[in-house]
Amino acid sequence: MTCATPPEDASSDPAHIEAEARADDDSRQPEDAGSSRLFRVDPRLAPGLYVVSTPIGNLRDITLRALDILASVDVVCAEDTRVAGKLMSAFGVSARLRPYHDHNGAQARPGLLKELESGGRIALMSDAGTPLISDPGYKLVREAAERGIPIYAIPGASAPLTALASSGLPTDRFTFAGFPPPKSAARKRFLTEMKSGQGTLIFFEGPSRLVASLTDMAEVFGAREAAVARELTKKFEETRRGLLPDLAAHYTEAGPPRGEIVILVGPPGEQGPPEANAIDAAILEADDSRPLKEIAAEIAEALGLKRRDVYESALELRDANAGDEEEA
């Protein structure tokens, strides 16, 4: 997954990481008792493909196991070898780096798979976060699995889960949908396909298209609760919460923020309750010659509500009006 590059601040100083790691867990000391390294080189590391998660912003989020694997494999495949080299240099890890990205994947995969079938040990890492989450590693992992090559996932940071954990939105069911299409018409079709889902929706987006995406989401999903998370784990980390129309209005006025962005949209029924008179007004303004269920469905879609809830409100309003007419 491509996210932000690691920040260059004092909190990411490997010396601080090293001191805390030694104090917290004596069982993970380097092989050489006199060494100051955080990692251990394992000459007996099993052959296979290692999918290694890396920090999404703060270098302190690297795991000790990730460092062990990166230091022990034969080759490290990275989206950008410059980014990977910077990360490993910060921890004193030396490894053979090889580029693997969208533009060279088709050419690079056959050679990598041949090495793996010959007993090679290869690590796959993205620029930041968990590989395969909106990055080009999927095809390599899939073809390795088809050939029976052992695959090991080394867990760690993930922008979608990090954003979800701090969003305040439901976490029991969620869908990661990646980047929405760049054009509005295609984006609305894409969003409409997910409209009936009952879990939290998670999207990536860039600053330049944030307002357009939030505006289309407000149109398709209605006034659902949502959150916009950016610069996760970094100095200027921010999570802004609110209804989709309000978030769209905020960023329209404030302008696009910096950093890479995660948009989270709550499921139907998690949006802030609209004013009851807004529903009543919509029902009263509707053409009463049409079936009540049809009117309720139209209003529910416009307000981003459940059809059943609006239909029940319509029934209550109809019964109340009928009672008023009888009394008159």
Q: Can you tell me the distance from the alpha carbon of 257 to that of 112, in angstroms, rounded to the nearest whole number? A: 39
Length of the chain: 328
- Closest to 217 measured CA to CA, from 253, 234, 242: 242
Q: Can you tell me the distance from the alpha carbon of 76 to that of 98, in angstroms, rounded to the nearest whole number? A: 6
What token pair was written down for 191?
A: 């969003």
Q: Report in angstroms the alpha-carbon separations of 33 from 67, 89, 94, 197.
A: 17, 21, 19, 54
Is the full-model pTM beyond 0.85?
Answer: no
Cβ(38)–Cβ(17) below 8 Å? yes
- Closest to 112 measured CA to CA, from 85, 71, 78: 78
| Residue position matching structure tokens 């090293």 | 18
Cβ(210)–Cβ(258) below 8 Å? no
Residue 49's SS3 state is strand
- Closest to 74 measured CA to CA, from 127, 27, 120: 120
Residue 52's SS3 state is strand
Residue 151's CB is within 10 A of a number of other CB atoms, namely 16
Residue 318's pLDDT is 74
Residue 179's SS3 state is coil
Q: Can you tell me the distance from the alpha carbon of 275 to that of 282, in angstroms, rounded to the nearest whole number? A: 11
Residue 309's pLDDT is 80
Cβ(51)–Cβ(80) below 8 Å? no
Phi then psi dihedrals of residue 170, to 5 deg: -55, 140
Q: Report in angstroms the alpha-carbon separations of 281 from 19, 220, 277.
A: 64, 21, 6
Name the CA radius of gyration of the chain, rounded.
26
261 HSE (CA, 13 A, CB side): 20
The maximal CA–CA distance of the chain, rounded, in angstroms, is 94
Per-residue pLDDT tens, the chain, 328 aa: give them: 444 333 344 444 444 433 333 333 333 333 443 346 888 999 999 999 999 999 999 999 999 999 999 999 999 999 999 999 999 999 999 999 999 998 999 999 999 999 999 999 999 998 899 998 766 789 999 999 999 999 999 999 999 999 999 999 999 999 999 999 999 999 999 999 999 888 999 999 999 999 999 999 999 999 999 999 999 999 999 999 999 999 999 999 999 999 989 999 999 874 444 445 567 777 777 767 788 888 888 888 777 777 888 888 888 777 766 655 555 5
